[in-house]
Amino acid sequence: MGHPLYQVDSGEVIFDGVDVLELEPNERAKLGLFLAFQYPTAIPGVSLANFLRLAVSAVRGKGANGSDNDGLIPMREFRRELREKMQQLGVDDSFARRYLNDGFSGGEMKRAEILQLAMLEPKIAILDETDSGLDIDAVRIVGESVSQLIGPDLGVLIITHYPRLLDYIRPQFVHILLDGRVVESGGWELTQVLEAEGYDPIREKHGIDE
Amino acid sequence: MENSEKNTIEELGVSKEYQYGFHDDIKPTFKSRKGLDEEVINQMCDIKGEPDWMRQYRLEAYKIFKQKPMTKWGGDLSQLDFDDIYYYVKASDRSERSWDDVPDDIKKTFDRLGIPEAERKFLAGVGAQYDSEVVYHNIVEELDKIGVVFLDTDTAIKEYPDLVKKYFGTIIPSADNQFAALNSAVWSGGSFVYVPPGVKVEYPLQAYFRINSENMGQFERTLIIADEGSQVHYVEGCTAPTFSSESLHSAVVEIVCMKGSRVRYTTIQNWANNVYNLVTKRAFAYEDAQMEWVDGNLGSKLTMKYPSVYMMEPGARGDILSIAFASKGQHQDAGAKVYHCAPHTTSQITSKSISKDGGRSSYRGWVDVAKGAKGCKSHVVCDALILDKDSRSDTYPVIEIGENDTNIEHEARVSKIGEEQLFYLMSRGLSEEEASTMIVNGFIEPLVKELPMEYAVEMNRLIQLQMEGSVG
């Protein structure tokens, strides 16, 4: 997403004909890209709802359908949409008033990320170890939530160490990344092999020690 | 961008205007000559028709002022020329009570300040200070009915001489400091509030005032007396038009919180960049009384302000919440003082400062626990946010403890707007400016949420304006 501390040495990223690497993080978001963070940063004093209203307005384009004087989507409309999506994701109403990621548990952070995903309606979302640090129930809730959102308008790239999340999401393509390279590609059945045998056989096959 | 800028101006008119300053062309009906001596003070007393005790009080204070050396600590006062200031300007002949009587020019200014709107919203007793004199003072009938007195201080001297004389200058004596002495000599306007025993004023009492004459000193004097078991919230907001030469604002606010009473005093100030804002604010809190200062300082050239609470009897409590925003060419020397003069008293100081574009903010705090004041608790939190490498933040805490059985905590944090925070917000579509504004607004949220609604909105707008163009 263009973190200032990361530099791309080689290669290119083209999305919808646009050179993504040329863009600022906010321009990438407007293009329809989304990154669900593994450890999202807390912004004390800023409520999730306030933040989301500004973000949604920015991504959908200021001055877009029926926006108010500040270029924000009208409060009533925003609230309705937020409430709907929170219900879909099984998130409590009080969530919207809490300060963004401030004092959130691991599970709450991940759910807040998925709620943002649902509200911002990107075209491509990357979920960076969204299942890490979650207990079994939380993984199920996150997994089910994401699979609700996936469809013709949203493609998702999931980065994970554990196949469990994939029980709920059932990806079309699975790639195994080992030592910085994709070493195996296949369909969902690849996760079943992993589940049964672990990573060791793949490591052996590709001659990489643990 | 151009479009959103326009929208901002249209929607806020008010705040945007503040930024550049505006003043209506009003002919003051009387203006003293520049500089101060006994003749100017006598002239002022004559025009005001003040009782002799007040004349003597002023002259005495003037003597003290002359003897005090220029304040050396705090900020740089070397540019301040006491001889180049008008000490008394009277804009119209008498205080106006009815809106219809208010001159059109003044109304226009009030329009821009949003006062009529505030009225429509049923906000209580709007008292607004225009130049040195309160020209519009509308007291809601309900206040009369419940026995609450809410007047400009000049009128209060005439209508409630005994009450004023009993407390005036007892919390902050003329000799307290140089600027308290100056204010005592030349004060004009300000509010006088008396709340009878057991009366709880349900809505905030508000006073708007602004400096409107070049080189004019503004020396209002506010005295609030909350009788036993009463409750009141007083709100003041100030703005000033921008002028090229220096302006001095030096107020004195005295508050008496009697047994079991509760007073909150909220200030939001956005002075023009040439104003020296040197204010003395102090409250005495008696048994089980609670005093809260909520203080927001934007703008000015130099602000020196340290609201204080003296906890005089057991069970008293003092809370001070202050926010300072120092931008280019500004020094906010703000803080708080608490004096635990009795056992089992409690205080909480929360100070937040933001420095930007080379601005400087300092926290100056004083926590004092008297010998024998057992079981006192004090908690101090100072958070500073520095927006760029040219800006500066300092902390000068003093803690004097004369008693072992006491619990004092002091926390101080200095932070910069984190790259991670900016990146996170920007990855969700916010521009860099929107993202930093949001982080700053989040930082001051603890103060904003304590403000009445309209002030909270205005505060966020002011921050937004301060942040505009702050990012390359």
Name the more confident of A111 and B152: A111
Query: What is the pLDDT at residue A195?
Result: 84
Q: Are B443 and A45 an interchain contact pair (Cβ–Cβ within 8 Å)?
A: yes
The mean predicted confidence, pLDDT, of chain A is: 88
Mean of pLDDT over chain B: 80
Range with the lowest mean pLDDT among A168-172, B245-249, B376-380?
B245-249
Query: Rounded mean pLDDT of A19-29?
Result: 94
- pLDDT of the residue at A58: 92
* Extents of the domains making up chain A: 32-171
Which CATH code fits A32-171?
3.40.50.300
Q: What is the pLDDT of residue B160?
A: 94
Predicted confidence (pLDDT) at residue B2 exceeds the cutoff of 80: no
Residue B135 has pLDDT above 60, yes or no: no
Q: Which residue has the higher pLDDT, A90 or B115?
A: A90
- Per-residue pLDDT, B54: 96
Of the candidates B10, B429, B446, which has its C-beta nearest A55's C-beta? B429
More confident residue, A29 or A137: A29
Q: Which residues of A touch B419 (CB under 8 A)?
A: 4-5
Is the per-residue pLDDT at B13 higher than 90? Answer: no
Q: How many CA atoms lie within 13 A of B133 on its CB side?
A: 20
Instruction: Please give the distance of CA B396 from its chain centroid, rounded to a whole number.
Output: 21
Q: Tell me: the pLDDT tens digits for B23-64? A: 555 555 677 788 899 999 999 999 889 999 999 999 999 999
Output A71-78 pairs: Cβ under 8 A, ≥24 positions apart.
A71/B3, A71/B4, A71/B7, A78/A52, A78/A53
ipTM of model: 0.92
Identify whether the C-beta of residue B283 lies closer than 8 Å to the C-beta of residue B309: yes
| B321 contacts on A by Cβ (under 8 Å) | none
What pLDDT, on a 0 to 100 scale, did the predictor assign at position B107?
A: 52
Q: Tens digit of pLDDT for each residue in B264-319? A: 999 888 777 788 999 999 999 999 999 999 998 888 899 999 999 999 999 999 99
> Which pLDDT does position B104 carry in this prediction?
57
pLDDT above 80: residue B90: no
Pairing of strands B406-416, A14-15: unpaired
Q: Any residues with CB less than 8 A from the CB of B377 and at least 6 apart, and which? A: B345, B346, B347, B406, B407, B408
| Whole-number Å distance between alpha carbons of B154 and B51 | 11
Q: What is the pLDDT of residues B206-218, one digit of tens each?
A: 765 334 433 344 7
Query: B424 and A37 in contact by Cβ < 8 A?
Result: yes
**From start to end of B166-215, where are the E strands?**
191-195, 205-210
pLDDT at A4: 83
- At residue B335's C-alpha, the angle toward residues B331 and B341, to 5°, is 155
Are A5 and B419 in contact (CB < 8 Å)?
Answer: yes
Nearest Cβ partner for B430 among A26, A44, A63? A26
B442 touches chain A (CB under 8 A): yes
Rounded to whole angstroms, the Cα distance separating B267 from B265 reads: 7
Find the mean pLDDT for residues B434-439. Answer: 92
Closest of B267, B265, B246, B243 to residue B255, by C-alpha: B265
Which residue of B12, B428, B445, B450 to mutate against A (max A Cβ within 10 Å)? B428
**Which of A118-122, A163-167, B234-238 is predicted with the least confidence, judged by mean pLDDT?**
B234-238
Band of residue B22 on the pLDDT scale cut at 50, 70, 90? very low
